[in-house]
Chain A
């Protein structure tokens, strides 16, 4: 019984993952990430990757909204900031532990998405982009209002305690790394599944031709709000994790910096793919924090310049994104190999036939 079950698991694993080169690549990378802490790389690298995990969740959520449902949002940092501030303020004023504040923050994020989504329903394209860009600016102004500073902490922000205050710093970083990695896996899978489900197909149809979708009887409003809400859920999750990992929530979380960061990550990785932004989050983080800081120590003022130049060049060269480029190449290789194997099979069959006499007498 058990061996039968295991064999079935293995077969489904082999067919679904090992035989599909793109998924195999993803699986191998995932294994690498899981076993990475064994390599004793030090807390700095683990911290760097933890931040990459958080940005990956954030970017993947944006990808769902923009790459699949077509609602260009330049102000996604709004939900990021709501997640960070919600968990920070709930902890500061009510002393609640993270496993209670995080779900509440998620609920608040979804609520905000619905509130913000309603006015955004009426505008399209660049107007939508610009409207979504100014909404976090309004939120920033509210947070900075001097009347509310005793609550929101003003420009200094709110300090937050870590998820694992009882651990030593090196172990803390490992624990945070695994926590964010698992949440990334879960979020990534859920987002990917949504993107490739029936709902995902409806999103894409809204992206392609909104009027046509309406004509087909799709309730576009409902699906747009659903896209906003789902995307906001994961963005808020990323924000909450951020607040605890960075030990603080401040007005920077609402700023354009984070909105633009995920746009860059997503475009780099391949918009619409969900896995693209996740890969690109890692690539950019390693480029920024490791290559430019440690391997090739660049003077601090030049750091950002070189980073941006590299990013812009990559985007111009590969407008469909790096991950898409890689997966396309892998698919091409797979097709080429299939053709070659089929060719070999044809040749073998031909050769077998050749060895037999043509005439039976």
Chain B
């Protein structure tokens, strides 16, 4: 078996050596993958930064968004058009987020572990409810635009380009929102120091609920865009993978830093694309490399790249 191991390693090295490397593939695809992953992690970062809640249900809400869009959209039971279905799905998930927060997370405020357990419980409940309501089979979430564009040596579908664009726009919107608006300043204040913010007259509970609503809406949007541009189907067990990716990105970028999430997402996106392109036989090496980079950066800088003892920036 040692021979077999050596053989596989040499096969992978051959891959690396003989690959006709076209940098446009890595540059373009890595950027798009990175932005899409960033969209995924954005909601997670927000709710952690403001309310210090590690929302383990983030992946499940991502999945729920895709399912609700399917049910409302042209292929589901309600047969609405794509745009209204999208908006309705995001809004309904915002409302669901508020309900979840009030009923389950609020009673265990302050207890980090209980919040983790409760949100994991919510995630599994969502999984089972979706399984019972929609069945074990996959539900289709088709792309919004067909067709693809070619940049040099690589081809990108319009659907993925749309997700890329929306992700960057949403990041910009969130960053501006936090900077400029009053509510955004309130969020930053609460992220910095909760008690003082309360003394300054910020109603933390309302703010937490609002942040939760925004976070879950973002999760829903991410779910719809990502599923429609990559896997094309929604299934009840797909929530763990987005959760793990969000975690890796958020740790890498620094908990609570929106800018950090974007940078972390790009690092992870480039790492995965690079490995997939340069070492095609690598398989799970993609994930392992991304996680390995995260560990290394953590060893050097334990707070993450932009973590500043938890400031929402």
Contacts and interface: CB of A to CB of B under 8 A. Distances in A.
> Taking the complex as a whole, does A directly touch B, i.e. does some CB pair lie under 8 Å apart?
yes
Interface of A: 66, 72, 74, 119, 122-123, 125-127, 129-131, 133-135, 137-138, 141-142, 144-148, 150-151, 256, 260, 263-264, 267, 271, 301-302, 304-305, 308-309, 311-312, 315-316, 319
B5 A148 contact: yes
B132 A127 contact: no
B40 to A, nearest CB: 15
Given A134-B291, A301-B128, A312-B121, A122 B116 contact: no
Interface string B254-295: 010000000000000000000000000101110110011011
B303 A127 contact: yes
Contact of B302 (A72, A122, A147): A122
A144 B250 contact: no
27 contacts: A123-B298, A126-B54, A126-B112, A126-B255, A127-B304, A129-B54, A129-B112, A134-B244, A134-B248, A134-B291, A134-B295, A138-B295, A141-B287, A147-B4, A151-B1, A260-B117, A263-B113, A264-B117, A304-B124, A304-B128, A305-B124, A305-B128, A308-B124, A309-B125, A312-B118, A315-B108, A316-B108
B251 A130 contact: yes
B294 A134 contact: yes
Most buried by A among B113, B248, B287, B307: B113
B269 to A, nearest CB: 17
Nearest to A93: B1
A164 B130 CA distance: 42
Contacts of A127: 251, 255, 298, 302-304, 307
Q: How large is the interface on B (under 10, 10 to 19, 20 to 34, 35 or more residues)?
A: 35 or more
Given A315-B117, A316-B107, 5 more contacts: A127-B307, A138-B288, A141-B288, A302-B132, A312-B122
A122 B303 CA distance: 9
Given A146-B283, A315-B108, A315-B121, A301 B4 contact: no
Interface in B111-138: 111-114, 116-118, 120-122, 124-125, 128-129, 131-132
B24 interface: no
Contact of A315 (B114, B251, B299): B114
B299 A122 contact: yes
B4 A150 contact: yes
A305 B129 contact: yes
Nearest to B295: A119
Nearest to B243: A256
Given A141-B288, A312-B125, A263 B251 contact: no
Contact of A145 (B244, B285, B302): B285
A72 B112 contact: yes
Contacts of A264: 117, 120-121
A267 B125 contact: no
Contact of B240 (A126, A256, A271, A315): A256
Nearest to B117: A267
> What 6 pairs across the A-B complex have the smallest Cβ distances?
A147-B8, A305-B128, A312-B121, A141-B284, A141-B288, A122-B302
Contacts of A145: 283-285
B78 to A, nearest CB: 24
Interface of B: 1, 4-5, 8-9, 12, 48, 52, 54, 104, 107-108, 111-114, 116-118, 120-122, 124-125, 128-129, 131-132, 240, 244, 247-248, 250-251, 255, 281, 283-285, 287-288, 291-292, 294-295, 298-299, 302-304, 307
A173 to B, nearest CB: 29
Most buried by A among B12, B118, B132: B118
Contacts of A146: 8, 281, 283
A154 to B, nearest CB: 11
B158 to A, nearest CB: 32
B18 to A, nearest CB: 19
Most buried by A among B114, B132, B285: B114
A201 B240 CA distance: 37
B71 to A, nearest CB: 18
Contact of A142 (B48, B107, B122, B288): B288
Contact of B131 (A129, A148, A301): A301
Contacts of A135: 295
Nearest to A149: B4
Contacts of B117: 260, 263-264, 267, 312, 315
Contacts of A147: 4-5, 8-9, 12
Given A138-B292, A308-B121, A129 B111 contact: no
A220 B48 CA distance: 28
Contacts of A134: 244, 247-248, 251, 291, 294-295
Contacts of A74: 116
A264 B124 CA distance: 12
A267 B117 CA distance: 8
A301 B295 CA distance: 38
B298 A301 contact: no
A122 to B, nearest CB: 4
Contacts of B304: 127
Nearest to B2: A151
B247 A305 contact: no
A123 B54 contact: no
Contact of B114 (A129, A131, A305, A319): A319
A126 B298 contact: no
Contacts of A302: 128, 132
